Amino acid sequence: MSTSPEGTVRPSTPLASGGPKLSVVVPVYNEEENLADLGKEIREALVSIDYEVILVDDGSTDRSFAEIETLGRLDPRFKAVRLGTNFGQTAAMAAGIDHAAGQVLAFLDSDLQNDPRDIPGMLVKLDEGEGWDVVSGWRKRRQDKWFTRRLPSQIANAIISRTTGVTLHDYGCTLKIYRADFIKNLRLYGEMHRFIPALAGFLGARIVEVPVNHRPRTRGVSKYGLIRIFKVVLDLHTVKFMHQYLTKPNYLFGGGGALMLAAGAFLGGVTLYKKYWLGVFVKDQPLFQISIFFSLIGLQLLLLGLLAEILIRIYYELRGKRNYFVRRTVNFK
């Protein structure tokens, strides 16, 4: 952490002292035709920057790894992480994050759809004014088909923005830049790389969007079909739950359980009232069964809430995790 002359504290980037300023993390799955040009583009775009490139080979079955090796021999700033098999883009990005030593991380697709020449400007943006924690690429003029790609993506962006409260035009654009401390703590599962900005936002990251260049894919094939929409919706549920209830699951389960128990007790009361005051036999009252049903479910939910509380404590304590995120500590002398 450093303090500028005016006394305002700059965002800290305490990780990996001695490492490069920037780590470019690139997931690669069967992109043999694109890698040589990608390497060239990155080297040309980042000439005046202290950087490394982490190419994560996500179990490619073509010559991608050989191409990565060629890049690494040519320029030792290009490093490879080779996964055992195809774990998916999210896992590949997570592996890249784990191996990155930079104070700032940038993500880039390996199919040349993103343009590395956007990175220097985004780095400038990161330090603009008080400083940002995330600079998020926005493919304002996206070069993909409208009906199968851009329209679903627009709908997804609107839903994700609304649900998470972190409003972005373009969650799907891989080209984004993060301060390392905001991203090193995240755990990414499923197809969750799309939600990284929201997850960082939950930690208090200051996020800004900048329009970036986007190009059509000219070589290789897209790795995704329409099925990804369903995965995104399911992941969104998980993200929402994790954010709202991860540290206090009993508010959800216990709350629901208490409501159901109360409803059960009320309906039980109605049954008894009808029996003793109106003379209706319990066997003639279907409400009685509903009351039992509600009470049982309510009890189950209450117990589930307690179990979830125990689990969540184990989750945090085992991994030495905290239920808060410290941007920086300041010692005022």
Q: How far is the CB of 72 from ligand UDP (least distance, A)?
A: 18
Measured from the CB atom, is 226 or 278 closer to ligand UDP? 226
Report the relative pairing of strands 134-138 and 104-107 from DSSP bridges: unpaired
Task: Name which of 205, 212, 229, 28 is nearest 104 in CA terms.
Answer: 205
Going across the sheet that includes 134-138, the strands are 78-82, 51-57, 22-28, 104-107, 176-179, 134-138, 207-211
Residue 61 phi, psi dihedral angles, 5° rounding: -105, 0
**Whats the size of the chain, residue-wise?**
333
Binding characters for ligand UDP, 33-52, by CB under 6 A (x = yes) = --------------------
Q: Residue 249's CB: how many other CB atoms inside 10 A?
A: 20
Of the candidate residues 29, 51, 65, 182, the single one contacting ligand UDP (CB under 6 A): 29
182 is an interface residue for ligand UDP by CB under 6 A? no
DSSP state of 107: E
Applying CB under 5 A, which part among 102-110, 119-127, 269-277, 310-318 lies near Mg ion? Answer: 102-110
Of the candidate residues 8, 222, 238, 244, the single one contacting ligand UDP (CB under 6 A): 222
Of the candidate residues 58, 118, 209, 235, the single one contacting ligand UDP (CB under 6 A): 58
Residue owning tokens 């007790």? 265
Number of residues that bind ligand UDP (CB under 6 A): 16
Q: How far is the CB of 246 from ligand UDP (least distance, A)?
A: 27
Picked from ligand UDP, Mg ion, none, the partner binding residue 31 (CB below 5 to 8 A depending on kind) is ligand UDP
Residue owning tokens 């329209």? 151
Picked from ligand UDP, Mg ion, none, the partner binding residue 223 (CB below 5 to 8 A depending on kind) is ligand UDP
Q: How far is the CB of 135 from ligand UDP (least distance, A)?
A: 19
In contact, 250 and 306? CB cutoff 8 Å: yes
